[in-house]
Amino acid sequence: MFRAPKFLFVIAACPLLFLDPSLAQNAAGPGSPPQSEAEQEPQQPTVLPEVLVTASGGFEQRLEDVPFAASIFDGAELRMRARTMSEALASQPSVMVQKTSYGQSSPYLRGLTGYHNVLLVDGVRLNHSAMRSGPNQYWSTVDLYGIERLELLMGPQGVLYGSDAVGGVVQALGPKAEFLDPAEAGDGDGFRAGGGVYTRWSSAEDSYTLRFEGEMHSRDWSFDVGQTLQGFGDLRGGKDVGTQKNTGYDHQGTDLRLAHRLADEVILSLGVQHDKMEDVPRTHKTVDGLDWHGLKPGSEIYRLHDQTRDLYYLRGEWENGGGWADAAQITLSLHRHEETRDRMKGDAAGLPDGGDYQGFNLDDLGLTARFEANGAWDDRWSYGFEIHRESADSFKRKYDASGAYTSTSLQGPIAADATYTTLAAYVQDEIFVGDHWSVIPGLRVSRIDVDVDRVEDPITGLPTAFSRDWNSAVGSLRTLWRRDECLMAYAGLSQGFRAPSLYDLTSLDETSVVETPDFDLDPEHFMQFEVGGRGRSGGWHWSTSAYQTWIDDMIVRSPENATGGDVIKHNGDGWIHGLEGMVAYEWSSEIQTELWGSWMNGRVDQLLPAPGSTEVRRPIDRLMPMQARLLTRYQPNGAAWWSEAYVWAVDGQYDLSLRDERDSGRIPDTDGDGFADGTPGYTIFGVRGGRHLRKGAMLTIALENIGNVDYHVHGSGVNGSGLNLILGLDLRF
């Protein structure tokens, strides 16, 4: 287990401050004239060029041409605002980042989380058939510090991104391949090399981060490599909670990208990623869980998760090829996931009472081909196909109070031996009507086959096997109106689809409760109507959206008994609707203020505990409370420093699902009746700033939760950090 001493932060960072500034290179490459401090452009939150890679299936598109709510973030900005990729999304409307544990954060997008949202890593799906329905740690295996750009698409995106793309789609993109132009490369032997070191230290997180990067570019080759080492101690909450015991963990991330330019606009690239999270505690299930505001600690002595993710992909792509494949991206990928859980249960006296060690291995071999082409009537076609074949196995071994193994179970968290195959093809066309309107219809057809060779029969407990298959067709119809680049509006209907996964069909243990496998579940269907717009005028900049989502046959988990220790799965109907918006104003070239807010509500059919199992319509799990954020940035003209201050206000949430009411380990039970009542609201203040120390050296500082408030994101297993000082140092050479 990696647990480096904290003085490594100082050893790695401080000597580099005294490097000769002439060794640093800017983006223009060698030979560029040095800049004075006043001439340097401070590294502050910036507005990217208005393109969005994933909005049209992986091809660049201007943000003002995207017919639904979308956002884009620069990686350098995210490093200053968050410690993990999931938490980087917390600054957006209709997004709630729940933390089951300190190392297990999961975003809710428009009321949905887990396998109802799609995460793409360099264009490759991270979602797999063992992913759980609720908050889980899979998104935490994507290294924030290897991301150059993060994109967020809200609402169902079933046509372009297939199963699971219901709440939204997130694309995490690494460094884009860069090639030298002929003048810079000389006779073809020239190259440019560089690198950097990023260090981060946080007081309340008791954490450190080290990120090492290197790059080399020539006229036809581009190479980027990075290594991240992170250690998190026990998280310190606000003034009353203090240190939250048994919350720390370690993380390591490695990423490599190699690209070769075969012709002017034809690129072949290779990507490799390796991420490992070690000894991540699920604290709220243990005796070290919080008792704040009526939260109930668990009875387990410990519960530790290890998570490993490996990604390998080979991609060929081109642009301006003309004909039926004017632009193309063809990707062959292998995504490997390994997960283990080690837990020791406790008896009534708090002594070890035996435990288990379980896990799964899953390989996802994928082939994705995406194309764009101009149509005969000045329209633009997007089309392609995807093939994914997942192979999974699992295990579980039980041990006694001394740690000696006593038995081996038939399966672990999912089927002991299974394959999950997805075949899909899609087509979408943007038809331009006049000078201001476009209509965008789309269709995807999918085939899903599940073959389970070894699984525990829920009735007999003996090994059994089964096969299932489903066919689906989902569509979308959107319209976009553009007055000009400064004003646009959109409206549309979009469908989402999700076939039952291996987790739905075969899981015996949902990490918090016991559940029974169900081999006969039906697929889920969703439809959303969305209307909104974006614009800017003078110093104003704004965006807004309203949506209504209809839910059909969603796989719902309801408590099977009064305590909620067991759950029963069934298909239920329901709805979610909400409002979200942002408005910003530039008071001058030096000062800008931004305000955003969101509200949502949702209901879905659930089953009352036995006897009777009567169906009722109650709030969806972890319904996001109303929240708003106000931020003001200040950067003097020509200065090498910047600053910003913010306030984040979140309302209390007391509309609970049946399962929420029985989850008093994560939702407070203030009256002590054994049922959760809801999560109180909170208001957090903070400030951030940064300064160029010299060319290629940037120091950032942040003070979060200035009031040292004790607060709890709805449904989380840990409280947020208390008063938190964060120092960051970014060195480029």
pLDDT single digits (tens) 27-56: 333 333 333 333 344 344 444 345 666 677
Do residues 297 and 288 touch, judged by C-beta distance below 8 A?
A: yes
- In the predicted structure, residue 116 carries a pLDDT above the cut 70: yes
55-69, 357-371, 696-710: the lowest-pLDDT one: 55-69
Note the pLDDT of residue 187. 58
C-alpha torsion sign, points 283, 98, 72, 372: positive
Mean pLDDT value of segment 79-107: 90
Burial degree of 187 (CB within 10 A; 0-12, 13-18, 19+): exposed
Split at pLDDT 50, 70, 90, the class of 185 is low
The yes-or-no verdict on residue 93 having pLDDT over 50 is: yes
Cα(297)–Cα(717) distance, integer angstroms: 10
Q: What kind of architecture, by CATH, is found in domain 7-732? A: Beta Barrel (2.40)
CB contact at 8 A, 655 and 623: yes
Q: What confidence score (pLDDT) does residue 684 get?
A: 97
Q: Which residue has the tokens 């976009």?
A: 480
pLDDT score of 566: 82
Pairing of strands 524-537, 487-498: antiparallel
Is the pLDDT at 260 greater than 60? The verdict is yes
Helix ranges (H only) for 528-603 are none
> Does pLDDT of 562 surpass 80?
no
What span, in angstroms and rounded, lies between the C-alpha atoms of 289 and 298?
A: 6
**pLDDT-based confidence at 184, cuts 50/70/90?**
low
Q: Looking at residue 40, what is its pLDDT? A: 40
Q: Percentage helix, strand, coil, to 5, in the chain?
A: 10, 55, 35
User: Parallel, antiparallel, or unpaired for β 124-125 and 566-586?
Assistant: unpaired
Q: Residue 217 above 70 pLDDT? A: yes
What is the per-residue pLDDT for 188? Answer: 56
Domain edges within the chain? 7-732
Task: Provide the pLDDT for residue 91.
Answer: 78
pLDDT for 189 = 62
Give kind and range of the element (H or E) at residue 691: strand 682-694
Identify the pLDDT of residue 137. Answer: 84
- Strand-pair partners of 582: 543, 596
Task: State the average pLDDT for the chain.
Answer: 89
Residue ranges in 221-364 assigned as alpha helix (H): none
CA distances from 640 to 33, 183, 210, 389, 693 (A): 18, 31, 24, 51, 8
Does 558 score more than 60 pLDDT? yes
CB 716 within 8 A of CB 102: no
Query: Over 70: is that where the pLDDT of 273 sits?
Result: yes
Instruction: Name the burial class of residue 198, with classes exposed (0-12), middle (13-18) and buried (19+) by CB atoms within 10 angstroms of its CB.
Output: buried
pLDDT of 459 reads 86
Closest-CA residue to 142 (of 341, 420, 364, 335) = 335
pLDDT in tens, 463-482: 999 999 999 999 999 999 99
Q: Among 50-59, 335-344, 577-586, 688-697, where is mean pLDDT lowest?
A: 50-59
What residues does 70 pair with on adjacent strands?
153
- List pLDDT tens digits, range 701-731: 999 999 999 999 999 999 999 999 999 999 9
Counting residues of the chain whose pLDDT is more than 90, the rounded percentage is 77
Q: What is the pLDDT of residue 201?
A: 96
Of the candidates 667, 623, 715, 666, the one whose C-alpha atom is nearest the C-alpha of residue 94 is 623
Helix or strand or coil: residue 54? Answer: helix
Residue appearing with tokens 């297990």: 104
Q: Residue 59 pLDDT > 90, yes or no?
A: no
Q: Quick one: pLDDT at residue 81?
A: 83
Higher pLDDT, 53 or 179: 179
Confidence tier at 569 by pLDDT (50, 70, 90): confident
Does residue 409 surpass a pLDDT of 90?
Answer: yes
C-alpha to C-alpha distances, 33 to 16, 30, 40, 65, 731, nearest whole angstrom: 22, 9, 12, 38, 19
Residue 658's φ and ψ, nearest 5 degrees, are: -60, -40
Give yes or no for residue 388 having a pLDDT over 90: yes
192's enclosing H/E stretch is: strand 191-202
Check pLDDT > 50 for residue 18.
no
Pick the range with the lowest mean pLDDT from 372-376, 512-516, 570-574, 575-579.
Answer: 512-516
pLDDT tens digits for 319-335?
Answer: 999 999 999 999 999 99
Q: What percentage of the chain carries pLDDT values higher than 70? A: 91
Question: Does 667 have pLDDT greater than 90?
Answer: yes
Whether residue 707 contacts residue 664, with contact meaning beta carbons closer than 8 Å, is answered with: no
Q: Which three-class secondary structure state does DSSP give residue 65?
A: helix
